[in-house]
Structure 1
Amino acid sequence: MSAVQPQELKRLFAHSLELLSQGKVEEWVGLFADDGVLEFPYPAPGFPTTMRGRDELLAQMRMFAEQLRAEFSEPEFYAVTDDGLLVAAYTADCTLVATGGRYRQTYLSVVRFENGAITLFRDFWNPWLVMEAAGGEVAWKQAIQALADR
């Protein structure tokens, strides 16, 4: 059981998007349980599908903050239950730092909370939009390789 009321879960989720918009990655990761999981069922090539624990989350999301600026819309909540399940849809106007490429992303997130901490954040998004903004699939793969080589 979540032990946190649905209205508070909505507030926590909206706050998580504000933190990402502000590039406050450490604070965002702090919303997760120690063993929390971030999943991208459809990741862009070169990105992991699953990150587990705060260290993995922080490593991945630091790169997010360095490479992407995102302004998130207010989330539309489809479900928020007493046992800590939240389903939300929202958009983001995004800019790739390296190229200046811009795109609008639509997200659907399924989030599980326990005692106010995120235990699972499953994020559905379209990886082709970010690759296109980077200059296409070949340019995207070159950029990812350059990050891996640092």
Structure 2
Amino acid sequence: MIDLMLAKDMNAVADLWAHDGTAEFPFAVGSSPRVLCGREEVRAYLAHYPELMDMKEMAALTVWPTDRTDTVVVEWMATGSTVANSQPYSLDYIVVLTVRDGLIALFRDYWSPLSAAAAAGSLPGLIASLERENT
């Protein structure tokens, strides 16, 4: 998956999901989805990622086994630059990953929407959307 993300082959990344696999983003806010159901929703979500973020490296990769043979916890740092303004970014991720028959059944991604919005240059828009939600 990491190699495919770095190659910006989002279709191949989506193909790693089971047909009915899910992606969950518990910390998602604003217009970001909290749950994607199925490979095709994941594919649509990933389609424009290379137009937003130019990921150059996934560093500090650590895989933590769990007491379940089909589930691991993965930590990594993605570095690169934003496409819109060429500003460098460094984002940390923690993912709980469950596989079934060699495909992703569950990808629970604990990323920081504030850090991602700041890296993408869209933090003012995210804050405005949060303020609208709370009024």
Q: How does the TM-score come out when normalised to structure 1?
A: 0.76
Offset, 1:85:
0.4
Offset, 1:56:
0.7
Distance (Å, rounded) in 1 between the aligned partners of 2:46 and 2:19: 15
The aligned counterpart of 2:21 is 36
The aligned counterpart of 2:99 is 113
Unpaired runs of at least 5, structure 2? 129-135
2:32 aligned partner, one-letter code: F
Within 5 A, what are the aligned runs for 1:48-63?
48-63=33-48
Give every structure 1 segment of 4 or more consecutive aligned residues whose post-TM-superposition deviation is greater than 3 Å.
Answer: 139-142
Unpaired runs of at least 5, structure 1? 1-15, 143-150
Q: Secondary structure at the match of 2:48?
A: helix
Where is the helix percentage greater, Structure 1 or Structure 2?
A: 1
Q: Secondary structure at the match of 1:65?
A: helix
| 1:135 partnered with 2:116 | no
| Equivalent residues of 1:69, 1:96 under 8 A apart | yes
Per-residue deviation, residues 66-109 of structure 1 (Å, max 9, x unmatched): 21112212521111556310111110103211121221111111
1:115 aligned partner, one-letter code: D
Per-residue deviation, residues 13-69 of structure 1 (Å, max 9, x unmatched): xxx111111111111111110011011111252210111111111110012122111
| Equivalent residues of 1:134, 1:140 under 8 A apart | no
Q: Secondary structure at the match of 2:95?
A: strand
| 1:97 partnered with 2:83 | yes
The aligned counterpart of 2:6 is 21
Structure 2 residue corresponding to 1:78, chosen from 39, 64, 77 = 64
The aligned counterpart of 2:131 is none
The percentage of aligned residue pairs carrying the same residue is 26
| Equivalent residues of 1:46, 1:141 under 8 A apart | no
